[in-house]
Amino acid sequence: MNPKTHRQLTRNEIDILIRQGCHAESWDLLRVKDPFDPERIQRVDFHGINYLGSFQGEVTFPGGFKRATGIYDACLFNCLVEDEVYIRDIRSHVANYCIRRGAVIRQVHSIVKEGDTTFGNGEQISVLNEAGGREVPMYDGLSAHLAYIMALYRHRPGLIRRLSDLIERYADGCKSERGEIGPGSRIINTERIYNTRIGAHTYIEGVTLLEEGSVNSSADDPVRLGFNLSARHFIISSGAVLNDGVILERCFIGQGVELGKQYSAENSLFFANCIGFHGEACAVFAGPYTVTHHKSTLLISGLFSFLNAGSGSNQSNHMYKLGPIHQGIIERGSKTTSDSYLLWPAKVGPFTLIMGRHYKNSDTSLLPFSYLVENNDESILAPGVNLRSVGTIRDARKWPRRDRRKDPVLLDQINYNLLSPFTIQKMWRGREILGNLQQASGKKSEYYFYENTKIPRSALERGIRLYTIGIRKFLGNSLLSVLEKNSVKDFKNLKAKLDPVSAWGKGEWVDLSGLIVPVALVNSFSDRLEEGEITRLDEIQAEFRLWHERYYEMEWTWARDYLEREFNQTVDEMQPDDIIRIIEIWKKAVVDLDEMLYEDARKEFRLSAKTGFGTDGGEDEKLKDFEQVRGDFEQNPSVAAIRQHIIRKSELGDRMIRKIRDLR
């Protein structure tokens, strides 16, 4: 709003306003914009300098009834009110706010901005270690990847100082004389809003308190805040939905996050598409798709992503007498069953099913896709067995479909791949670990012991076999992806297409809370930050987007190296028959794994699964009732997808084999 477009009131307009119950500290301090209709300003107290826009239209409420825009029954102090705003029934006052075009504010106690505030930017969030030491300063554009580096790269204090300085500089730039209610926003039946900046098209109804924060709503992906929400020191990103008694204290809420049903959280970060109902979080780093639906579920002092937390899941970070200083990491894609318990410190590998109560500090991070179960107070580990679970595959397929983000600018760059250099490098190391355990203790040992867990002999042997299948499936996938997208004239030309495109990719990879990248790339990026080559936060976000876009280029650089190790032959040495042999091995790995998934799915349709169906009938009624509710096994979408996958991948393998034979 440009104050130069506004004028003082005429004597006649002042008289009309006074007749309509309006008062002013000084009518000379009130500025209005033409065309100005004084009939639309009724029973309003003006204090300080206020600027009013033009009110000529109507606003429509749910159910279809309409009201003329304007200001009714309110008290304003030092406010800028743009065109076509509707304000009514302010029980206390609105102070020091800019209210943008088309906003609606009705039945609100107070909206106040005072003192020096950054609207939540720069607030320190004590994640992972409840006693402090891993604080992440939040800001409007915080991504899971940047937060991961700030929380976990404390071994690089220069890097942390540099990032903290950049965020502090951004936070200083957020200071303003006025708060803001964004264009098209609606604030209905709400109590207190204090030092809070509200973005475009936010919908707020029945909220109890918003204090010291930012609601970064947008027209493309509005934020919805509902009944009895109480939030202090926060940032809420686009597309988020929070309602039904949620309580927040010092929290960052990422894009597409949904919290409700009395969920409470403090000193926690929630990134893209997290869901929290009923339970509570304390000092939690909730990476993308961390989900908890149940009462009595506590997530505390842990780093999670793609987690499904079962009812009553709990962790303990207070093992010794020095306070709650311990932390835990459950890597991507894991699940906890009802009443599971983990004693921190601990680290759990990707895609692990956690069942029972675990009282010893374990580290299974190099044994992914495992079952970690309790038996007589002992932690029993079954490595790799989750690779053959149809539930794991279903999860990997559902995540992209459940991305609720509609904002064109995505803060988190999410890699959904089940198999990647990050998980395959762990399978590779895990296979070596299991082989070494077998060699050290003998092939006939009943149990093997690893990191405070107990591995039965059959589970160890199966784990080696499953990891080999998984490794070969991934390496074949990566090879065929390169072969399929490149047209070639002869075998020499084909070999040239197998050269790495990216210089990055070799060595260890890391999951930066959703973004899967080579460690060397992260270290190089960190060096550039420390040396001052990167000077803006938006440059950091652009870097993350670039890494995500170039994932498959870097993946092939890594896969080529491991392909040579797995088959003990360099790509340069390979002849057509060698590549054909690798494709045949890949095809067998795909089919073997899919057949395991098929059999796992069949368990859901066996006789025991039909218990409780056909309640008042016999076997025929039980079968018919089951089929009506659950459907036929062969027609089940997951089962059909497995069968189609076998056919599709087999055809792809045969097609590639014919292609290579034609080049000989």
Could you give the CA distance from residue 517 to residue 536 in angstroms, rounded to a whole number?
A: 21
Query: Which of the four pLDDT bands, split at 50, 70 and 90, describes residue 608?
Result: low
- Pairing state between β 7-8 and 30-32: antiparallel
The pLDDT tens digits of the residues spanning 6-56 come to 999 999 999 999 999 999 999 999 999 999 999 999 999 999 999 999 999
- Pairing state between β 135-137 and 515-518: unpaired
Could you give the CA distance from residue 204 to residue 227 in angstroms, rounded to a whole number?
A: 8
Beta-strand ranges (E) seen in 61-164 are 66-68, 70-77, 80-81, 86-95, 97-99, 104-112, 124-126, 135-137
Could you give the CA distance from residue 661 to residue 659 in angstroms, rounded to a whole number?
A: 6
Topology adopted by domain 119-289: UDP N-Acetylglucosamine Acyltransferase; domain 1 (2.160.10)
Could you give the CA distance from residue 504 to residue 557 in angstroms, rounded to a whole number?
A: 7
Tell me which of 130-134, 457-461, 492-496, 579-583 is least confident: 492-496
Q: What share of the chain is helix, strand, coil (3-state, %, to 5)?
A: 35, 25, 40
DSSP string, 191-251: EEEEEEEE-TT-EEES--EEEEEEE---SSS--EE-TT-EEEEEEE-TT-EE-SS-EEEEE
The pLDDT tens digits of the residues spanning 489-545 come to 788 888 888 999 999 999 999 999 999 999 999 999 999 999 999 999 999 999 999
The amino acid at 253: I
340 token code pair = 């599971």
Mean pLDDT to the nearest integer, 384-408: 90
The pLDDT tens digits of the residues spanning 614-652 come to 666 776 766 666 666 666 667 777 777 788 888 888 888
Q: Which residues neighbour 345 within 8 Å (Cβ) at sequence distance 6 or greater?
A: 319, 326, 327, 328, 361
Compute φ and ψ for 502, nearest 5 degrees.
Answer: -105, 140
What integer best gives the mean pLDDT of the chain? 93
Q: Is the backbone peptide bond immediately before 456 cis, with ω within 30 degrees of 0?
A: no
Could you give the CA distance from residue 366 to residue 353 in angstroms, rounded to a whole number?
A: 15
The amino acid at 318: H
- Please tell me whether residue 65 adopts helix, strand or coil conformation: coil
Beta-strand ranges (E) seen in 78-122 are 80-81, 86-95, 97-99, 104-112
**What predicted TM-score, i.e. pTM, was given to this entire model?**
0.94
- Please tell me whether residue 561 adopts helix, strand or coil conformation: helix
The pLDDT tens digits of the residues spanning 210-268 come to 999 999 999 999 999 999 999 999 999 999 999 999 999 999 999 999 999 999 999 99
Domain ranges of the chain: 1-112, 119-289, 421-573, 576-663
Long-range CB contact pairs, 66-72, < 8 A, 24+ = 68/40, 69/40, 70/37, 70/39, 70/40, 70/41, 70/42, 71/40, 71/41, 71/42, 71/44, 72/41, 72/42, 72/43, 72/44
Report pLDDT for 96.
Answer: 98
Could you give the CA distance from residue 616 to residue 619 in angstroms, rounded to a whole number?
A: 10
Report pLDDT for 622.
Answer: 62
What is the enclosing helix (H) or strand (E) of 49? Answer: none
Report pLDDT for 366.
Answer: 97
Beta-strand ranges (E) seen in 436-522 are 447-450, 453-456, 509-512, 515-518
- Side-chain-side CA neighbours of 534 within 13 Å: the count stands at 20
Residue 196 has pLDDT above 90, yes or no: yes
Mean pLDDT to the nearest integer, 311-326: 78
